[in-house]
Structure 1
Amino acid sequence: MGALDYLSNFCTVTSTSIRTKRKPMQTVEIKVKMDCDGCERRVRNAVTSLKGVKTVEVERIKSRVVVSGYVDPNKVLKRIKSTGKTRAKFWPYVEQHLVYYPYATEAYARKAPSGYVRNVVQAFPAAPSSNDAPAEENFVSLFSDDNVYACSIM
């Protein structure tokens, strides 16, 4: 049996490295304040050198960096912070037309770029439930679009 055990060691395949799953393709948006061409170049070079990065878009006016590829968002943020941009954070804004009420106190941000508001959960008006008392009136029925002078409040 000694010879067979010896030969079986050559025939078996052992893997010392653990196979890692490939990261999914994703887009990471980060808010970074960049004042000059040097800041922009430093951030672009730092992110481009990451493994798995396909495209890098730097928008200095909006203070925004968009990275697409097979990357980990936290690693991208950490790499940008390593360039000296310690106040960098994930993009907190969404486009204004995607929000139900963009001028709510929670959503409106003066520091947001033009056409963007904060990404917050907003309350929608509640639909009247069937358990309401019949004495309550529906406010929509108080006004008439056909006859604007027929207001039932007066």
Structure 2
Amino acid sequence: MSQTVVLKVEMTCQGCVGAVQRVLGKMEGVESFDVNLEEKKVTVNGNVDPEAVLQKVSKTGRATSFWDESAPPSA
């Protein structure tokens, strides 16, 4: 079943973005993804387990959590 997983990832540069894109590109079940450096937001679409996506992105060494829509945007 296809679903969307939205994560908050502490990224500071294009190198961080590249690392996240590399792990998502190799992950089984991922159909598409969007990495937004400015918002520190990663959106993943596909037949994936949200917890597995979180763990995979965390392995890049960046602080990663599920996106909380009710949280105020960080300045």
Scaled by the length of structure 2, what TM-score is found?
A: 0.92
Tell me, yes or no, if structure 1 residue 36 matches structure 2 residue 13. yes
* Alignment partners' CA distance in 2, 1:57 and 1:82: 18
Q: Partners of 2:74 and 2:45 in 1: how far apart?
A: 21
Show structure 1 runs of 4+ deviating over 6 A. none
C-alpha distance in structure 2 between counterparts of 1:91 and 1:57, whole Å:
14
In proportion to residue count, which structure has more strand?
Answer: 2
Instruction: Tell me which protein shows more helix as a share of its residues.
Output: 2
Structure 1: runs of 5+ lacking an equivalent: 1-23, 95-106, 115-154
SS in 1 for 2:42: strand
Give the share of equivalent positions with the same residue, in percent: 35
Alpha-carbon deviation of 1:79? 0.4
Q: For each residue in 1:68-113, what CA deviation from the matched residue of structure 2 results, as whole angstroms up to 9, or x when unmatched?
A: 000000000000110101x21000125xxxxxxxxxxxx6x3xx15
In the alignment, residue 32 of structure 1 is paired with which amino acid?
V
Is 2:57 the partner of 1:80? Answer: yes
Rg comparison, structure with higher value: 1
**Structure with more contact order per residue of length (Cα contacts < 8 Å, sep ≥ 6):** 2
The root-mean-square deviation of aligned C-alpha atoms, in Å, is: 1.6
- The number of residue pairs the alignment matches comes to 75
Give the corresponding residue for 1:66: 43
The gaps in structure 2 that reach 5 residues or longer are: none
Q: What amino acid maps onto 2:49 in structure 1?
A: D
**TM-score calculated relative to the size of structure 1:** 0.46
- After TM superposition, the structure 1 = structure 2 runs for residues 1-154 of structure 1, keeping only pairs within 5 Å, are 24-85=1-62, 87-94=63-70, 109=72, 112=73
**C-alpha distance in 2, partners of 1:90/1:33?**
12
Q: State the partner residue of 1:18.
A: none
